[in-house]
């Protein structure tokens, strides 16, 4: 028996069949595709994480230490040879050679040599101090100073001196009768030799 379906039912079935045939089919992934996709996603995540880490700034290069040479004193060129410093001993010997051996030496009470007599006379009206100096004698090497104080118009006779050359200086501190006198003379015999003191000079006379 042949079935006859209503037209509306036929149309409905046709539409449904068309819809079913037009709907896209859902693709099915194999297990290998799923594994590859997961590995790729993992590498992508690692790459993104590394990119997010801040880049470390490289340290500046270490400066190489260069030793500095010590400063040296370079002698100046000269055509004149430099003299070596004189030793202290040489300086002392030289200075002693140039120094008067009788300086600041007191004349002995009884100097060695040929005796003589000396008279010192103060002709001024004030007291004076007399400094008598014997130059070094050639034969005995006697020399040195003596001092005498003479009152106004006073004198002194000296019998313990020897023949030689003498320098005398007479002075005082009297403002009203100042004395600043000097004189000299050489004695060559045992007789009496005289030095006369005035306010400005000392006169030397022989026997």
Q: Please report, in tens digits, the pLDDT of each residue of the chain (207 residues total).
A: 544 545 444 454 554 555 544 444 444 555 555 455 554 554 554 455 455 555 555 555 555 545 444 444 544 444 444 444 445 554 454 445 566 678 788 998 889 999 999 999 999 999 999 999 999 887 788 999 999 999 999 999 999 999 999 999 999 999 999 999 999 999 999 999 999 999 999 999 999
Q: Tell me whether residue 120 is in a domain.
A: yes
Q: Tell me whether residue 4 is in a domain.
A: no
Looking at the structure of the chain, the number of domains it has is 1
User: Could you tell me the residue range of the domain that residue 131 belongs to?
Assistant: 115-205
Q: Tell me whether residue 167 is in a domain.
A: yes
Question: pTM for this structure?
Answer: 0.53
Q: What is the CATH number for 164? A: 2.60.40.4150
Q: Tell me whether residue 166 is in a domain.
A: yes
> CA separation (Å) from 84 to 41, 81, 87, 88, 96?
94, 9, 9, 12, 21
8 A C-beta contact, residue 142 and residue 113: yes
State the pairing for strand pair 202-205/155-162.
Answer: unpaired
The sheet carrying 192-197 orders its strands as 155-162, 115-122, 192-197, 202-205
The sheet carrying 164-171 orders its strands as 144-150, 128-134, 164-171, 180-187
């Amino acid at each position: 028996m042949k079935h006859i379906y209503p037209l509306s039912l036929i149309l409905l079935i046709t539409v449904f069949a068309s819809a079913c045939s037009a709907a896209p089919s859902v693709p099915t992934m194999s297990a290998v595709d799923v594994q590859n996709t997961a590995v790729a996603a993992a590498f992508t995540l690692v790459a993104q994480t590394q990119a997010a880490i801040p880049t470390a700034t490289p340290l500046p290069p270490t400066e190489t230490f260069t030793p500095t040479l010590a400063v040296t004193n370079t002698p100046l060129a000269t055509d004149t040879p430099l003299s070596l410093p004189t030793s202290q001993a040489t300086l002392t010997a030289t200075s002693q050679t140039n120094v008067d051996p009788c300086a600041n030496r007191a004349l002995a009470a009884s100097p060695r040599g040929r005796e003589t007599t000396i008279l010192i006379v103060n002709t001024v009206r004030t007291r004076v101090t007399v400094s008598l100096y014997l130059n070094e004698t050639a034969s005995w090497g006697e020399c040195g100073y003596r001092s005498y104080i003479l009152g106004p118009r006073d004198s002194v006779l000296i019998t313990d001196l020897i023949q030689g050359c003498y320098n005398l200086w007479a002075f005082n501190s009297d403002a009203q009768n100042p004395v600043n006198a000097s004189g000299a003379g050489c004695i060559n015999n045992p007789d009496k030799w005289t030095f006369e003191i005035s306010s400005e000079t000392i006169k030397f006379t022989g026997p």
